[in-house]
Amino acid sequence: MRVPSWLRAGRTRWYVAGAVVLALAGVLTWVVWPEPADAPRERRYRNVTACLLTDGEGITGRDAAPVWAGMQEMSLRTLARVQFVAVSGEQTPANAAAYLAGLTQGSCDVVVAVGAAPVGAVAQNAGRSPDVQFVSVGGAASAPNVAIVDGTGNLRASVSQIVETMVGRR
**CATH classification at residue 71:** 3.40.50.2300
Pairing of strands 81-86, 110-114: unpaired
Pairing, β 81-86 against β 133-137: unpaired
Q: Could you read off the pLDDT of 59-88 as tens digits, one per residue?
A: 999 989 999 999 999 999 999 999 999 999
Residues 67 and 150 in one domain: yes
Q: Which residues contact 123 (CB under 8 A, 6 or more apart)?
A: 93, 136, 139, 140, 141, 142, 146
Q: Provide the domain limits for residue 1.
A: 1-35
Give per-residue pLDDT as tens, 25-46. Answer: 888 888 888 877 777 677 788 8
Looking at the domain assignment, is residue 43 inside a domain? no
Are both 107 and 158 inside the same structural domain?
Answer: yes
Q: Is position 127 within any domain?
A: yes
pTM of the predicted structure, to 2 decimals:
0.74
Judge whether 117 and 106 are in contact, CB under 8 Å. Answer: no
